[in-house]
Structure 1
């Protein structure tokens, strides 16, 4: 897949109907030979749209006008490229907890949560957020996570979490203004509600920080999993993480996680974590597959705004 293909796929699958600004930018980059040539000087994993757009937003650059964006990137490319080489798309979307909640609440309680690719660990607090599934409210407090749930009843209560830990190659700290600024820059420009949600979720995490370790999802996972309390159900989970992992390491991780005690909850692009048979996804945008112990359960939208359970 060429870099132009990557940007067109992002426009069609992820940004269309979700972020008009990013759809416009992606299509503009895909037909701009100069910008494509600049992007092709980066390693393949560093050419992705979310990373480019996030770095531009972090630097205060324009993302609402393709011509102004092009001029900004062309003029500032050395610094933009340097930032893209050292940063990663560590979008820490607390809203994904709304799609995970029906699975987590149904497991034997209490839970010991271990998130792979945890970023700043905001998805490690499903027991602290409130959820709104249509007219059904689960829990209280802030933030309130909205999700359209189809094919399954909303859970009656939030899970009980007695231990929470995360593993990441570059863990972020929500109490660090620079790390929080990067998380903010990764939120799409029109999504004010997600920006407000980030601040509320960061306040939750900052008041009771999780155990976040720098490490590899294969080499360091067993030792961290062994630290979970024995009287809790271990749940290793991840959302929109494996696309950043090379295929060989991805295969090693999926082989390893199946040997650990407890359960494995994955919320990933089916092109990255394939399943043998899946129903057709709902219309209207890109969907991940939510799976428990390798068994696919539902289609989910990327930011947790909807989940459609399989029949």
Structure 2
């Protein structure tokens, strides 16, 4: 054997290098969250995310978690559930360093099934280009709040038009701001069948579920928290059906087969594909295409493999893109309060 004069890398050295890489990746994830999502929207989560990214001890706690469980939204909701005071970095750090086993258990047991009803505004803009009647199937449906876009009322700007369900104003009104070039829909979609698919379906009538969903809403967003509770009550009233299943299996096809044949099948998803790796995202899109269904997606930029890159700079206000069959028709913030042309 030739002596290179260099020491062999030991398993311990390789392990240390891997751990350092994991920590760096988590730090980058939290910095990106602070800059691209929380900045200008949640001072608490922006401050917390920056603090985590700069704290080696906290990063070392997070690095061993599965990637899906390292999410800032998930960690910070769990921390608040266990008593961290919003905006107080010392409170967050004290909680995570002294009660990590309890927080970790919550992180592992829960998921960020935010289910933001306001994303129905993007769905509404997409559905107006689809001939009705519509059979609506949502993947990643959680509690099904985005399966009832026709049961909400919408206001489009302070002096803009209002759109109500056909039987009158809804107890839940979604305020939407449309940028230049985007026109408010004038009629509700004719949805004659609806169903959801989720790995972990949520019951909108369950108090514990509702408490967790409210905790996931960012601390400063009290109006969103109140709206979520009202939307959950509406979903429970209309008995929205969300079945357990993985969209990468025949569960999607089985559920789609129940849709009425004389309706246009529309598969929707919002902030759902991000939980899959790149090959699985491609597979999911291909499965929907194979159904012969239309597809309305609302995902973060770069997540949907069928949506081409946009020239528009990525900011918190343009982080998400709404697309019909892969063709973008709007960009928006993650909570879909302001939509603009892509």
Question: So what's the TM-score if we normalise by structure 2?
Answer: 0.87
CA distance in 2, matches of 1:137, 1:234: 27
CA distance in 2, matches of 1:222, 1:143: 32
Residue 181 (structure 2) pairs with residue 136 (structure 1): no
Report the secondary structure of 1:258's partner residue. Answer: helix
Pairwise CA RMSD: 1.4
Report the secondary structure of 2:187's partner residue. Answer: coil
Q: 2:124 aligns with which of 101, 111, 121?
A: 101
Q: How many pairs are equivalent?
A: 310
Q: CA 1:169–1:284 in 2, change beyond 3 Å: closer, same or farther? A: closer
For residues 118-138 of structure 1, the C-alpha deviation after alignment (integer angstroms, 9 at most, x for no partner) is 010000010000001112111
In structure 2, the residue matched to 1:12 is 35
In structure 1, the residue matched to 2:115 is 92
For residues 241-298 of structure 1, the C-alpha deviation after alignment (integer angstroms, 9 at most, x for no partner) is 1111122221211111111123111111122224334231475545211111111221
Residue 339 (structure 2) pairs with residue 307 (structure 1): yes
Structure 1 residues not aligned, in runs of 5+: none
Query: Would you say the 8 A contact 1:114–1:166 is kept in 2?
Result: yes
In structure 1, the residue matched to 2:11 is none
Residue 200 (structure 2) pairs with residue 177 (structure 1): no
Residue 311 (structure 2) pairs with residue 279 (structure 1): yes
Residue 247 (structure 2) pairs with residue 224 (structure 1): no
Structure showing greater Rg: 2
CA distance in 2, matches of 1:282, 1:31: 24
In structure 1, the residue matched to 2:184 is 154
Residue 194 (structure 2) pairs with residue 194 (structure 1): no
Worse-matched range after superposition: 209-218 or 53-62: 53-62
Q: CA 1:277–1:76 in 2, change beyond 3 Å: closer, same or farther? A: closer
Worse-matched range after superposition: 58-67 or 175-184: 58-67
Worse-matched range after superposition: 100-109 or 1-10: 100-109
CA distance in 1, matches of 2:170, 2:54: 46
CA distance in 2, matches of 1:59, 1:159: 42
CA distance in 2, matches of 1:35, 1:6: 13
In structure 1, the residue matched to 2:4 is none
